Amino acid sequence: MKTGVTIWAFPGGLLGRTRVDKAAGEALAAGFDGLDVSLTQVGDVSLRSKPAQWNDLRQKVSEAGSCIQSVSTLLLHDFPLTSGDPERAQTAMRIGTAMLEAAAALEAPTAALSPGHVNETDSYADCYRRALEQVGQLSRRAEELGVTLCIENVVNRFLLSPLEAAQFFDAVGSPALGFCLDTGNARLQGYPEQWIDVLGSRIRKVHATDLKVHSPLHAEFTDVGAGDVDWTATLAGLRKIGYNGPLIAELFASDKRPYTEHLQINGAALRRLAEAFHA
């Protein structure tokens, strides 16, 4: 099992102000095999980038001894695929399409996104209907590009259980659609090993996160391995379904500790998990 880390773990990574090749080198030094990049408004992987730029970037990362394992984004928090505003929904589709095109150019096997957000004005039923349409369109583009579009379980009041996620997945019915399991988010809403049991081979990417559950209404994210995710059960579930993708630490730089220390601590944790996976 390969390990990776999100570019959000680096200063400026949230806004595209971190050089991807530099981050890849630092991630490698911290023990990660690859990098999960993010589509942003500006930067190396942005809505303004051209395919030739992505090709050059892929070569630079390869020369650094690393690789791009996936493409993610935070832009869809502001422009949900399920928005009832036609302009916002159109922007969301442009973002999703750009993610897939970036993944293809960077030779990343997956691109992961949130399938939608339920709020006061966009009802659950409307979001489900819109998500089926939008994700279906993006899945067809993913098929053309030869990459896998992964929908991720995020805190969005939508697709709240693995049973519902599996039903949605099968309703889209595309061979290019997969699931990105965020282990911490699954633990917030249940247990990741149960999500794995239900979703099975639909899981094509894993965001390794952990959290400490203090009460049903109080939980906080922690370093990988320091929370309440049952990693023994989670790894056993991944082995059972034949998962062969990377384990990617979803980390965010903060002022609580130097980012290099953050990388080292979680890089060591993921290496232990990868070793346990093969034990």
- Of the candidates 155, 209, 196, the one whose C-alpha atom is nearest the C-alpha of residue 5 is 209
Q: What percent of the chain has pLDDT over 90?
A: 97
Q: Which tens digit of pLDDT belongs to each residue from 209-230?
A: 999 999 888 999 999 999 999 9
Per-residue pLDDT of 173-198, as tens digits, reads 999 999 999 999 999 989 999 999 99
Count the helix, strand and coil residues of the chain and give each as a percent rounded to the nearest 5.
Answer: 50, 20, 35
Contacts (Cβ under 8 Å, ≥6 apart) of 227:
184, 187, 210, 211, 212, 213, 221
Distance from C-alpha of 229 to C-alpha of 77, rounded to nearest angstrom: 25
What is the model's pLDDT at position 255? 87
How many domains, in total, are found in the chain?
1
H-run or E-run covering 117: none
Domain containing 233 equals: 3-278
Give pLDDT, residue 88. Answer: 97
CA–CA separation, 182 and 159 (whole Å) = 13
Residue 106: pLDDT band (50, 70, 90) is: very high
Q: Of 37, 18, 15, 57, give the one whose Cα is nearest residue 99.
A: 37
C-alpha closest to that of 107 among 74, 71, 64: 71
Mean pLDDT calculated for residue range 231-250: 98
User: Which candidate, 115, 120, 121, 129, places its Cα nearest to that of 84?
Assistant: 121
Strands (E), 137-260: 148-152, 177-182, 203-208, 210-215, 218-222, 247-249
CB 233 within 8 A of CB 193: yes
The reported pTM is 0.97
CATH number at residue 176: 3.20.20.150
- pLDDT per residue as tens digits for the range 115-147: 999 999 999 999 999 999 999 999 999 999 999
